[in-house]
Structure 1
Amino acid sequence: MKKSLLIFYFLLLYALLEMFWWGTVVIQLQPQRMAMVMGEGSVFLFLLCIGAYFIHASIKKEDKLHEQQQNFLLSVTHELKSPLAAIKLSLQTIVKRDLDKQLQTSLLNNSLKDIERLDDLVENMLLATKIESRTYSFPKEEFDFSELVTKITDRLQVHSCGNQQLINTKIDNNIKVVGDKFALSSVVTNLVENAVKYSGPCAEIAVSLCQNDGKPFLTVSDKGPGIPDGEKMLIFDKFYRVGDENVRKSKGTGLGLFIVKEVLQNHDADISVKDNTPQGAIFEVTFN
């Protein structure tokens, strides 16, 4: 991409030099045409600068997209390898060692969680592809949104700090939604997984679902590093991730919040991001 920019700048410089040279030659041969040359030259220079600006912006945008796609491939590779390695290790342990039933069950349960994580990753990539290509139809039906949110938070519950439940839920019963159950489950999963991912070890996450003016209102709060004001809208762009890619420690593909935005737009729902106190972020989803 740097080579393309160098070629572009060279051609731009060449065009400018040619314009000034021909203008000088014409004025020397026909001094009476100086006003015409200056006028036409100014228009040409203006149009050249406008074109150069847009071409430069397009090249930089393409460069950034290429970098994001490379980071995405690296992230996907890491996201796939981690659970696969864990599943392989668990199964090898069961096969090679004479374990009691309780330990076998524990290893198998851990493997099932890793398989669910892989399934979520694959579903995210497939859904993002279908949404972007406009081939996904969003089939809608009425279903119990409270039951869906409860099921997802129970599955994603973290028990790494003893018996403490890290995802605290406050979910009102029998909240109905007319929408695509599969796509909305991806919305809830991505929001909760992001909260878990960016929060520190043993940090509490809050998930709330209630009726606000007769409309379903979902909030997911974390105690992570938070999101700078300048990036609160950018986080919903495809492949975009907060912070410097070279020093980032958190995993992810940059597809989750892109899917969240697209799905909610197709359900006439709004999402907003606020700062949590004393630190972290709050995602609020309002159905209209």
Structure 2
Amino acid sequence: MRRALFWFYVLAFYAICQLFAWGYMFIKYVPDRKGMVIGEGMIFILIFILGIIRLKNHLEKERNYSQQQNNFLLSVTHELKSPLASVKLYLQTILKRDLDREQQKSFLSNSLKDIERLDYLVENVLLATKLENRSFNLPKEDFDFSSLVNDVLDRLQKNSCKTEMIRSEIEPNITLHADKFAITNVVNNLVENAIKYSPPCATVEVKLSKRDNDLLLTVADHGEGIADEEKRLIFNKFYRVGNESTRKTKGTGLGLYIVKTVLQKHNATIKVKDNVPSGSIFEVIFENYAG
């Protein structure tokens, strides 16, 4: 891509030089049309330069997108290999060593967590692929949203640090008409992100409540927070906060893209706010909720 940009700049420079050269020659041999040549030449140069800038921005955008795709493939490969290697090691240990009942139970429990992690990754990739198809419609049904959120939180609490607290305030018996699988993915992504970007064993707050005619779901963490210039980018496909050389957290860059796209298909909105004194708050609003 860098070589392509280099030759693009060379050709653009050559084209502008040729334009000036032909303009000079035309004025030299037809001096009585000098004003017309200069006027039309300036307009042409302006349009040409604007086209160059537009094309340059497009090429750079494609380069960044290509880089993000490569990072995504590397991340997915790592995310797949890591739990697979872990499960393999646990099972080999169980088979080769004479472990007592409690040790076997512990190893199998850890293997199950890694399998759930793989299942979560595969679900994200499959859902992201489906959402790319604009004609894809999410099948909607009525379900207990309060129970769904509680189930997600219970599962994530079991897989998190033993002293980590997922503090919840879930209003009971809230029914939502939506795609249950997709909404489960939304809640899961938001809470997992909050855990992932929080300090070890920190508190994550999750609230679900009715507000006037709206339904409000908030997920708050106490991590480093998100810079203002990145808040509008984090929902882009493959985008991840920070840069590849300094980023320490695992991920594929699909989670928040899925969250945003699923919510759009449900006529819901999501906002990112700063938490006090540190961290971020993700606020999901189902407007004109009736349930």
Q: TM-score, normalised by structure 2?
A: 0.95
Deviation at 1:25, TM superposition (A): 1.3
Aligned to 2:174: 175
Deviations 1:52-92 (A, max 9, x none): 11111111101110111111111111111111111111111
The whole-number CA distance in structure 1 between the counterparts of 2:269 and 2:174 is 17
Tell me the amino acid that sits aligned with residue 144 of structure 2.
D
| Amino acid in structure 1 at the alignment position of 2:104 | Q
Change (3 A) 1:66 1:7: same
Count of aligned pairs: 287
RMSD (Å) for aligned C-alpha atoms: 1.3
Q: Is the 8 A contact 1:208 1:219 kept in 2?
A: yes
Question: 4+ residue runs of structure 1 moved beyond 3 angstroms?
Answer: 158-162
Matched ranges for 1:45-124 at <5 A: 45-124=45-124
Q: Which is further off, 205-214 or 105-114?
A: 205-214
Write out per-residue CA displacement over residues 92-139 of structure 1, whole angstroms, 9 at most, x where no aligned residue: 111111111122111111111111110110110111111012253100
CA contact (8 A) 1:144 1:174 kept: yes
Partner of 2:204: 205
Residue type of the alignment partner of 1:114? D
Q: Shift in Å at residue 47 of structure 1?
A: 1.3
Deviations 1:228-250 (A, max 9, x none): 11111211111111112211000
Q: Percent identity?
A: 57
Equivalent position of 1:150 in the other structure: 150
Q: Residue 242 of structure 1 aligns to which amino acid in structure 2?
A: V
Residue 95 of structure 2 aligns with an amino acid whose one-letter code is V
Aligned to 2:282: 283
CA distance in 2, matches of 1:81, 1:257: 23
Question: What residue ranges of structure 1 are gaps of 5+ in the alignment?
Answer: none
Whether the 8 Å contact between 1:158 and 1:166 is mirrored in structure 2 is no
- Per-residue deviation at 1:161? 4.8
> Counterparts of 1:278 and 1:158 in 2: how far apart (Å)?
27
What secondary structure does 1:246 align onto? coil
Determine if the alignment matches structure 1 residue 9 to structure 2 residue 9.
yes
Q: 1:178/1:56 Cα in 2 relative to 1: closer, same or farther (>3 Å)?
A: same
Taking the aligned partners of 1:133 and 1:246, their CA distance within structure 2 comes to 32
In structure 2, do the counterparts of structure 1 residues 159 and 126 end up closer, same or farther at CA, with 3 Å as the change threshold? closer
Give the drift of 1:151.
Answer: 0.7
Name the SS for the 1:174 alignment partner. coil
2:193 aligned partner: 194
What SS does the corresponding residue of 2:142 show, helix, strand or coil? strand
- Do the aligned partners of 1:75 and 1:253 also contact (CA within 8 Å) in 2? yes
Alpha-carbon separation, structure 2, partners of 1:62 and 1:13? 22
